[in-house]
Amino acid sequence: MKGSRTLLTTGALVVAFVLFLFVNLIGNATLGGARLDLTKEGLYTLSPGSRSLAAGLVEPVTLKLYYSSRQAADIPTLKTYADRVQGLLREFANASGGKLQVQIVNPEPFSETEDEAVAAGLQGAMLKSGETIYFGLVATGSTDERSVVPFLDPERETSLEYDVARMIYKLGRPDRPVVALISGLPLEGEAALPFPGGSSQQPPWVVYEQLKEVFDVKPVELTAQVLPEDTDLLLVVHPKGISEATQYAIDQYVLKGGHALIFVDPHCERDLPPRDPTNPMAQFQAERASNLARLFRAWGFQMPEDTVVGDRDLAVRVQAGGRSQSKEVDYVLWLGLGREQVDADDVVTADLGKMLLASAGHLEPLDGATTQFEPLLRTTDQAELVEQAKIQFMPDPEKLLAEYQPGGRVLTLAARVRGPCKSAFPDGPPKPALPPDAEPPAEAPPVTGLAESAQPIEVLVVADADMLGDDLWVQMQNLFGQRMAIPIASNGDFVIHALDNLSGSNELISLRSRASFDRPFERIESIRKEAEQRLLAREQALQDELTQTERRLSDLQSKKDDQSSLILSPEQKAEIDRFQEQRVATRKELRDVRHDLNKDIDRLEAWIKALNIGAVPLLVGALAVGLGLRAGRRRSA
C-alpha cells in the first residue's frame, strides 16, 4: 500500500512537471506580449486614443526598430526597456488592422544593417568593450517621409507611447491642421544680437518643436489685420501690444466657428525686456502683462488685472536666501497642480499628470453671460491673490510665504468657454490710426462683419503663459550630440491635447505622457507647511525688530551732545540689553517650532514605517496560522 502511494505521488509530480513545461512553452509562443496591468493609472496599457489612432491610419506606416540585442544582453536596464518597446510596437501593429508594419533589425558590427542604421540617422553608443550598440526607431510613410528617434533613452520610458503615437500620427495623415500662431514670446527661438556682448542664439522652445511635428504652424504678426485663409486653429500666446485690428480678426474668426487656444498672463516671467545699459531699472519697470479684456468680456468672462495667484498647498520648493544662507522654501506663486486640480471629465485634462505654472492669473465668469464657463485647471480653496506690484522687481519667496493669507476660495487658472455670444466690435472693424498731419481717406464702403456668433464658440483660455517655458516642464539633456527633452510635467501635453481637441480630432487626447505620479505623504506635507510658515513669520518679525532697534540706536546716537564719543549712553545699553534678551527668547521659540515640526513628522513617519515593515509579515503570518489551524481541524475530523 505504501509503495503504491509513493508511486502515485511520483507519477503525479512527473505529470505536473510535464504540464508545467508544456504550459510555459505554449504560453511563451502565444502570449509573449500579454501582460496584466495592475497599476492604478494604467501606466502600461495602450490607451484608447492610441488604438483609435492606429486603426484610423489613412496611409501605411512602417516602424523599424534597430536593436543590438547581443550587445544589450549584459545591460539589464536596457534589455528590459527593449522588451517594453517591442511589446508596445506590436500592440500598435495589432490595433492598426495591417496598416502599421513593425520590423525588428539587429545591426551587427560591420554589417549592411549597421550601415543602414547609420544612414537613417541613428546614434550608436560606445560600450566599454569597444563595441557599438544601436537602439533607435525609424518610421517611414508611404511617401518616404521619415521620422527618426536616434536613440531610445530609457529615461523617456514615461513618454514612450506618446512619442510613438506622434510619429504614427505625423506619417499616417497626408494633411496636417494649420495653426495660426500669434505670439508675444519668442517661441521660434531668437537669433544672436549683432553687437558685442549681445545674447547668444536661443533655440526654439520645446513646445514649439512639438507643435511643428503635429501641426502646420504659420506665425502671424501682432499687428496683422487678417488671419491666413487656410487657418484651422488659432493659438495666441502672451499677446502684449496686440493691435485692435488683430483683435477684430480674432473676434470674427471665433464668431465664424473657428476654435482658439489663448494664453494670457498678468505677470509673464518669460517676457524679458532687453537691458538698457543707460537705465538698469528699465527692465524691471517694463510692462510684462497681457490680456484680451475686450474679447473676453464679449465671450462672458474676464481675467482681473494687477493680481497673481498664490497657493501654499500647491507651492513649488525653491532655493532662497542668497548664497551664504541658501535654503529651500515654498514659493507660493509657483504652482504644482496635481490630479485634484484638473478637470477629470474634460478630454483635454482627463489624463494629464503634474503641471507647473508660474505667477498665474485667474479667470472669472461674468454675470449675465450667454456662454458656459467650464474650469479646466484650478487652485485649492486656500489660494490667495497677490498684488502684481509686490513681484515687479525681485520677489522674495520667504516674505511671500510669511505674509501668506488663505483666501478661502478656489480660483480658476484655465477654462473652456463655449456657447453663443455677440461681437466685441458691435460698430464694425476699428478704423486705422492716422498720423496727426494726414488727411482722412475718402469714404469707403462699410466693411460688414458678424455681429454675433454663427454657431456656439469654442475657446480655451489659460491665465499663464510661463507654463510654456522649457524650464517649467522639461529637462534638457545632450545624448550623443542630440538635444533631447525629458518631460518632468504635462505642460506640453496640455497644449497638444487642447489643440487636437479643438481641431475636431480626439485621437491624441487620451494619450498621456505616462509621467511619474507623485504620491506625497499629504499629512506630513501639511504639518511641514504649517510649521514652516510659523517659522518664517517669526524670522520675519525678528528681522523687522532688528531693523527697528538699529534705527532706535541711530536716533539715540544722533541726540548725544558729543558726536565723537564712543561711550554708550544708559539708554543705548538698556536698548541693547532688551533686544539681546528678546533675541534669545525668539531664537528659543524658533528652536521649539523646529523641534515640534521634526517631532510630529518623526512620529508619523514611525507609524508609516511600522505599517509598511510589520503589517505585511503579520498578515502573511496570520494567514499561515489560519491555514495551519484549518488543516489541523481537517486531519482531526
Q: What are the pLDDT digits (tens) for 468-512?
A: 999 999 988 776 556 678 889 999 999 988 998 888 654 554 454
H helices present in 293-416, as ranges: 293-298, 397-402
What is the rounded distance in angstroms from the CA atom of residue 162 to the CA atom of residue 514?
Answer: 8
| Lowest-confidence region among 137-141, 236-240, 516-520 | 516-520
What average pLDDT does this structure show over 354-367? 96
| Lowest-confidence region among 167-176, 206-215, 323-332, 580-589 | 580-589
Number of other CB atoms surrounding residue 350 within 10 Å: 14
Residue 353's pLDDT is: 84
Looking at the DSSP bridge assignments, the partners of residue 483 are: 478
509 plus 606 within the same structural domain: no
What average pLDDT does this structure show over 603-626? 69
CATH number at residue 101: 3.40.30.10
Selection from 193-207, 309-323, 405-419 with the highest mean pLDDT: 405-419
Establish if 39 belongs to a structural domain.
no
Which residue from 428, 489, 487, 421 is spatially nearest to 457, judged by alpha carbons? 421
601 near 532, Cβ under 8 Å? no
Range of the domain at 509: 176-189+204-272+285-305+361-379+411-427+451-519
Establish if 95 belongs to a structural domain.
yes
What's the predicted TM-score (pTM) here? 0.61
What average pLDDT does this structure show over 376-399? 92
pLDDT tier, 236 (very low <50, low <70, confident <90, very high otherwise): very high
529 plus 514 within the same structural domain: no
373 plus 469 within the same structural domain: yes
Let me know how many helices (H) and strands (E) the chain has, helices first: 14, 22
Establish if 562 belongs to a structural domain.
no
Q: Look at 292 and 165; give whichever has higher pLDDT.
A: 292
Q: pLDDT exceeding 70 applies to what percent of the chain?
A: 69
Q: How many domains does the chain have?
A: 3
pLDDT reading at 588 higher than 70? no
254 plus 374 within the same structural domain: yes
Establish if 388 belongs to a structural domain.
no
Residue 302's pLDDT is: 97
260 plus 142 within the same structural domain: no
Establish if 398 belongs to a structural domain.
no
Q: What is the mean pLDDT of the chain?
A: 80
Establish if 340 belongs to a structural domain.
no
How many residues belong to the chain?
A: 637
Q: CA-CA-CA-CA torsion for 434, 437, 443, 449, nearest 10 degrees?
A: 10
513 plus 592 within the same structural domain: no
Of the CA atoms within 13 Å of residue 572, those in its CB half-sphere come to 14
526 plus 512 within the same structural domain: no
Establish if 510 belongs to a structural domain.
yes
Q: Report which secondary-structure segment, H or E, holds 178.
A: strand 178-183
Name residue 366's amino acid: L
What average pLDDT does this structure show over 602-614? 67
Which residue from 204, 216, 135 is spatially nearest to 170, judged by alpha carbons? 216
56 plus 133 within the same structural domain: yes
Beta strands in 379-420 (DSSP E): 384-387, 412-419
Q: What are the Cα distances from residue 570, in Å, to 239, 545, 546, 560, 579? A: 63, 20, 19, 12, 14
What is the rounded distance in angstroms from the CA atom of residue 33 to the CA atom of residue 84?
Answer: 9
Which residue from 253, 263, 53, 72 is spatially nearest to 168, judged by alpha carbons? 53
What average pLDDT does this structure show over 155-161? 76
Establish if 395 belongs to a structural domain.
no
- Cell (9 digits) for 172: 499616417
Residue 376's pLDDT is: 96
What average pLDDT does this structure show over 276-289? 74
226 near 250, Cβ under 8 Å? no
What is the rounded distance in angstroms from the CA atom of residue 385 to the CA atom of residue 403?
Answer: 12
- Cell (9 digits) for 178: 494649420
419 plus 489 within the same structural domain: yes
pLDDT reading at 370 higher than 50? yes
Q: Report which secondary-structure segment, H or E, holds 482.
A: strand 482-487
- Cell (9 digits) for 330: 515654498
Q: What are the Cα distances from residue 301, in Å, to 380, 427, 429? A: 21, 21, 22
What is the rounded distance in angstroms from the CA atom of residue 459 to the CA atom of residue 259?
Answer: 6
- Dihedral of alpha carbons 175, 180, 185, 186, sign: positive
pLDDT reading at 394 higher than 60? yes
What is the rounded distance in angstroms from the CA atom of residue 578 to the CA atom of residue 556?
Answer: 15
512 plus 589 within the same structural domain: no
Which residue from 406, 392, 391 is spatially nearest to 315, judged by alpha carbons? 406
Q: Report which secondary-structure segment, H or E, holds 386.
A: strand 384-387
Three-state SS for 256-286 is: CCCEEEEECECCCCCCCCCCCCCCCCHHHHC
Provide the CA 517 distance to its chain's centre, in angstroms.
Answer: 12
515 plus 541 within the same structural domain: no
Residue 515's pLDDT is: 44
| Lowest-confidence region among 1-10, 72-81, 145-154, 314-323 | 1-10
Residue 555's pLDDT is: 65
- Cell (9 digits) for 562: 558729543
- Cell (9 digits) for 425: 466690435
515 plus 526 within the same structural domain: no
